[in-house]
Amino acid sequence: MSRLPNPILPLLLAVLLGSIVAPVRAQDAPPPPPPHGEMPPPPPRPWSSLDPAQREILAPLQQEWNNLPARKQAHMLQRAERWVTLPPDRREKIRQRIAHWQQMTPQEREQARANERKFHELSPEQRAQLHRAFEHFQQLPPEQREQLMQRWHHLPPAQRRQWMEHPDFGVPPPGERPPGHGPPPPPPDADGSI
Protein backbone atom coordinates (compact mmCIF):
# COMPACT_ATOMS: atom_id res chain seq x y z
CA MET A 1 0.00 0.00 0.00
CA SER A 2 1.40 3.38 -0.91
CA ARG A 3 1.41 6.21 1.59
CA LEU A 4 0.23 9.68 0.71
CA PRO A 5 2.72 12.45 1.45
CA ASN A 6 1.89 14.25 4.69
CA PRO A 7 1.01 17.68 3.17
CA ILE A 8 -1.63 16.07 0.94
CA LEU A 9 -3.38 14.16 3.73
CA PRO A 10 -4.92 17.23 5.48
CA LEU A 11 -6.05 18.61 2.13
CA LEU A 12 -7.68 15.30 1.21
CA LEU A 13 -9.45 15.16 4.61
CA ALA A 14 -10.70 18.73 4.20
CA VAL A 15 -12.12 17.93 0.78
CA LEU A 16 -13.79 14.75 2.03
CA LEU A 17 -15.22 16.42 5.13
CA GLY A 18 -16.33 19.40 3.08
CA SER A 19 -18.22 17.19 0.67
CA ILE A 20 -20.02 15.53 3.59
CA VAL A 21 -20.74 18.67 5.64
CA ALA A 22 -21.64 21.02 2.78
CA PRO A 23 -24.83 19.19 1.70
CA VAL A 24 -26.02 19.00 5.31
CA ARG A 25 -25.48 22.73 5.79
CA ALA A 26 -27.05 23.52 2.42
CA GLN A 27 -30.31 21.98 3.60
CA ASP A 28 -30.44 24.35 6.58
CA ALA A 29 -29.43 27.49 4.72
CA PRO A 30 -32.02 29.72 3.04
CA PRO A 31 -31.94 29.65 -0.74
CA PRO A 32 -29.39 32.02 -2.25
CA PRO A 33 -30.73 35.28 -3.60
CA PRO A 34 -31.41 35.31 -7.34
CA PRO A 35 -28.63 36.73 -9.54
CA HIS A 36 -28.64 40.49 -10.00
CA GLY A 37 -31.57 41.60 -12.15
CA GLU A 38 -33.32 38.24 -12.00
CA MET A 39 -36.49 37.94 -9.98
CA PRO A 40 -37.85 34.70 -8.55
CA PRO A 41 -40.43 33.11 -10.82
CA PRO A 42 -43.94 34.47 -10.43
CA PRO A 43 -46.71 32.08 -9.44
CA PRO A 44 -48.44 30.39 -12.38
CA ARG A 45 -51.57 32.12 -13.71
CA PRO A 46 -54.52 30.01 -14.83
CA TRP A 47 -56.06 30.93 -18.19
CA SER A 48 -59.29 31.95 -16.46
CA SER A 49 -57.42 34.69 -14.54
CA LEU A 50 -56.38 36.54 -17.72
CA ASP A 51 -58.34 39.60 -18.74
CA PRO A 52 -60.25 39.55 -22.07
CA ALA A 53 -57.57 41.53 -23.95
CA GLN A 54 -54.85 39.12 -22.80
CA ARG A 55 -56.97 36.10 -23.72
CA GLU A 56 -57.67 37.57 -27.16
CA ILE A 57 -54.03 38.13 -28.07
CA LEU A 58 -52.81 34.88 -26.45
CA ALA A 59 -55.69 32.75 -27.79
CA PRO A 60 -53.38 30.37 -29.72
CA LEU A 61 -51.85 29.37 -26.36
CA GLN A 62 -55.16 28.67 -24.60
CA GLN A 63 -54.90 24.86 -24.72
CA GLU A 64 -51.35 24.85 -23.32
CA TRP A 65 -51.49 27.92 -21.08
CA ASN A 66 -52.11 26.17 -17.76
CA ASN A 67 -49.18 23.80 -18.43
CA LEU A 68 -46.66 26.50 -19.39
CA PRO A 69 -43.90 27.24 -16.86
CA ALA A 70 -44.64 30.32 -14.75
CA ARG A 71 -41.67 32.21 -16.26
CA LYS A 72 -42.96 31.56 -19.78
CA GLN A 73 -46.43 32.75 -18.77
CA ALA A 74 -44.96 35.92 -17.25
CA HIS A 75 -42.88 36.53 -20.38
CA MET A 76 -45.91 36.13 -22.65
CA LEU A 77 -48.02 38.39 -20.41
CA GLN A 78 -45.34 41.10 -20.55
CA ARG A 79 -45.35 40.93 -24.32
CA ALA A 80 -49.17 40.88 -24.40
CA GLU A 81 -49.18 44.18 -22.48
CA ARG A 82 -47.37 45.80 -25.41
CA TRP A 83 -49.37 43.94 -28.04
CA VAL A 84 -52.79 45.05 -26.79
CA THR A 85 -51.80 48.66 -27.53
CA LEU A 86 -51.19 47.87 -31.21
CA PRO A 87 -53.73 48.37 -34.00
CA PRO A 88 -56.06 45.39 -34.62
CA ASP A 89 -54.32 44.31 -37.84
CA ARG A 90 -50.94 44.08 -36.05
CA ARG A 91 -52.52 42.13 -33.17
CA GLU A 92 -53.98 39.68 -35.69
CA LYS A 93 -50.55 39.17 -37.27
CA ILE A 94 -49.10 38.46 -33.84
CA ARG A 95 -51.85 35.93 -33.10
CA GLN A 96 -51.10 34.23 -36.42
CA ARG A 97 -47.37 34.10 -35.63
CA ILE A 98 -48.06 32.60 -32.21
CA ALA A 99 -50.31 29.99 -33.81
CA HIS A 100 -47.64 29.22 -36.42
CA TRP A 101 -44.99 28.86 -33.70
CA GLN A 102 -47.25 26.46 -31.80
CA GLN A 103 -47.52 24.26 -34.91
CA MET A 104 -43.76 24.10 -35.49
CA THR A 105 -41.77 21.03 -34.53
CA PRO A 106 -39.05 21.38 -31.87
CA GLN A 107 -36.44 21.15 -34.66
CA GLU A 108 -38.12 23.94 -36.64
CA ARG A 109 -38.27 26.10 -33.51
CA GLU A 110 -34.59 25.52 -32.81
CA GLN A 111 -33.74 26.41 -36.41
CA ALA A 112 -35.79 29.61 -36.07
CA ARG A 113 -33.93 30.50 -32.87
CA ALA A 114 -30.57 29.82 -34.55
CA ASN A 115 -31.58 32.02 -37.48
CA GLU A 116 -32.54 34.80 -35.08
CA ARG A 117 -29.16 34.53 -33.32
CA LYS A 118 -27.40 34.70 -36.70
CA PHE A 119 -29.49 37.73 -37.67
CA HIS A 120 -28.44 39.59 -34.52
CA GLU A 121 -24.78 38.82 -35.26
CA LEU A 122 -25.01 40.64 -38.61
CA SER A 123 -23.78 44.19 -39.00
CA PRO A 124 -26.45 46.91 -39.28
CA GLU A 125 -25.70 47.18 -43.02
CA GLN A 126 -26.14 43.44 -43.50
CA ARG A 127 -29.42 43.50 -41.56
CA ALA A 128 -30.67 46.37 -43.70
CA GLN A 129 -29.68 44.48 -46.84
CA LEU A 130 -31.45 41.37 -45.61
CA HIS A 131 -34.53 43.41 -44.75
CA ARG A 132 -34.59 44.91 -48.26
CA ALA A 133 -34.23 41.44 -49.77
CA PHE A 134 -37.08 40.16 -47.62
CA GLU A 135 -39.29 43.10 -48.62
CA HIS A 136 -38.47 42.41 -52.27
CA PHE A 137 -39.23 38.72 -51.80
CA GLN A 138 -42.61 39.53 -50.21
CA GLN A 139 -43.55 41.64 -53.24
CA LEU A 140 -43.06 38.71 -55.64
CA PRO A 141 -46.03 36.64 -56.80
CA PRO A 142 -46.51 33.48 -54.70
CA GLU A 143 -45.50 31.20 -57.59
CA GLN A 144 -42.21 33.04 -58.05
CA ARG A 145 -41.52 32.97 -54.30
CA GLU A 146 -42.05 29.21 -54.30
CA GLN A 147 -39.73 28.79 -57.29
CA LEU A 148 -37.02 30.85 -55.58
CA MET A 149 -37.35 28.82 -52.38
CA GLN A 150 -37.04 25.57 -54.31
CA ARG A 151 -34.04 26.90 -56.21
CA TRP A 152 -32.43 28.02 -52.94
CA HIS A 153 -32.85 24.61 -51.35
CA HIS A 154 -31.20 22.95 -54.34
CA LEU A 155 -28.18 25.29 -54.46
CA PRO A 156 -24.92 23.94 -53.05
CA PRO A 157 -23.73 25.84 -49.93
CA ALA A 158 -20.97 27.65 -51.84
CA GLN A 159 -23.46 29.06 -54.35
CA ARG A 160 -25.83 30.07 -51.52
CA ARG A 161 -23.01 32.03 -49.88
CA GLN A 162 -22.10 33.73 -53.15
CA TRP A 163 -25.71 34.65 -53.79
CA MET A 164 -26.05 36.07 -50.26
CA GLU A 165 -22.78 37.99 -50.52
CA HIS A 166 -23.65 39.48 -53.89
CA PRO A 167 -24.53 43.21 -53.64
CA ASP A 168 -27.98 42.50 -55.05
CA PHE A 169 -28.86 39.72 -52.62
CA GLY A 170 -32.59 39.27 -52.82
CA VAL A 171 -32.69 39.72 -56.56
CA PRO A 172 -33.66 36.39 -58.09
CA PRO A 173 -30.68 34.27 -59.10
CA PRO A 174 -29.57 34.21 -62.73
CA GLY A 175 -32.09 32.64 -65.02
CA GLU A 176 -35.01 33.71 -62.81
CA ARG A 177 -34.71 37.48 -63.24
CA PRO A 178 -37.20 39.10 -65.56
CA PRO A 179 -35.36 40.78 -68.46
CA GLY A 180 -34.13 44.24 -67.58
CA HIS A 181 -34.43 43.69 -63.79
CA GLY A 182 -31.23 44.05 -61.87
CA PRO A 183 -27.62 43.90 -62.98
CA PRO A 184 -26.22 40.95 -64.86
CA PRO A 185 -25.26 37.98 -62.71
CA PRO A 186 -21.71 37.77 -61.38
CA PRO A 187 -19.31 35.81 -63.59
CA PRO A 188 -18.99 32.11 -62.78
CA ASP A 189 -15.99 30.94 -60.80
CA ALA A 190 -13.48 28.50 -62.23
CA ASP A 191 -15.56 25.59 -60.89
CA GLY A 192 -18.61 26.85 -62.83
CA SER A 193 -20.50 28.09 -59.78
CA ILE A 194 -22.14 31.48 -59.81
Tell whether the torsion through CA atoms of 153, 154, 158 and 159 is positive or negative.
negative
pLDDT tens digits, one per residue of 107-117:
999 999 998 89
Over residues 49-58, the pLDDT tens digits come to 999 989 988 9
Task: Summarize pLDDT for 11-60 with one digit per residue, the tens.
Answer: 544 555 554 444 444 444 455 555 666 667 778 899 999 999 899 889 88
CA distance 97 to 63: 16
pLDDT at 39: 67
Cα 39 to its chain centre, rounded Å, is 23
Report DSSP letters for 44-110, one per residue: P--GGGS-HHHHHHTGGGHHHHTTS-HHHHHHHHHHHHHHTTS-HHHHHHHHHHHHHHHHS-HHHHH
Integer CA distances (angstroms), 95 to 88, 90, 99, 177, in order? 10, 9, 6, 35
3-state secondary structure of 124: helix
User: Angle 88-103/70-83 helices, nearest 10 degrees?
Assistant: 150
Question: Where residue 155 falls among pLDDT bands split at 50, 70, 90?
Answer: confident
